[in-house]
Amino acid sequence: MIQIVMGALICEGQILLVHRSPNRPVYPDVWGLGGGHMEPGETELAALARELDEELGVQIEPGSVIHLCRLQVGRGEESVHFSAWIVKEWQGTPTNAAPEEHDEIRWFRPEELPPLTHEPVRTAVIEAMRGALA
């Protein structure tokens, strides 16, 4: 089983998305949340903090992180488990710190969100942004 964590940085009613480079072997040329694979022994929050630092150059404030949703793709040993989080506070200015993975990062309002890698995550983000979490 593969475990992936993703973070939705939200600021002033907008969400930061990353665009996966067209040459990526998995989910090429699509928008998604920053994040990546959990390493052995890592908690979801530790992996989220590491991944967002590596990809966006930000250090998340753990108390500002709220779990958004979980998603499973596939079955058995080949399944991938995604865990998405809302991040409302961080230090640093988000930049594309992983240009080999993403060719663009951009802020979007909920009504402007493009299709994401996983539609249930998009729906959960929009609902969270329109609700009490925004």
Q: What is the pLDDT of residues 59-86, one digit of tens each?
A: 999 888 999 999 888 887 788 899 999 9
Tally of domains within the chain: 1
pLDDT tens column, 113-128: 998 877 888 888 888 8
- Report d(CA 95, CA 71) in Å as an integer: 27
Given a contact cutoff of 8 angstroms between Cβ atoms, the answer to whether 5 and 48 are in contact is: yes
- Work out the number of other CB atoms within 10 angstroms of the CB of residue 66: 13
Which amino acid is it at 75? R
Cα–Cα distance for residue pair 48/101, rounded to 1 Å: 16
Count Cβ atoms within 10 A of the Cβ of residue 29 and give its class: 0-12 exposed, 13-18 middle, 19 or more buried: exposed
- Between 76 and 45, residue with greater pLDDT: 45
Amino acid at 79: S
Q: Please give the Cα distance from 38 to 112 (Å, whole number).
A: 30
Range of the domain at 26: 2-130
More confident residue, 103 or 73: 103
Q: What is the pTM of this model?
A: 0.89
What gap in Å lies between CA 5 and CA 83, rounded to an integer?
Answer: 5
CATH number for the domain spanning 20: value is: 3.90.79.10
pLDDT at 10 (0 to 100): 94
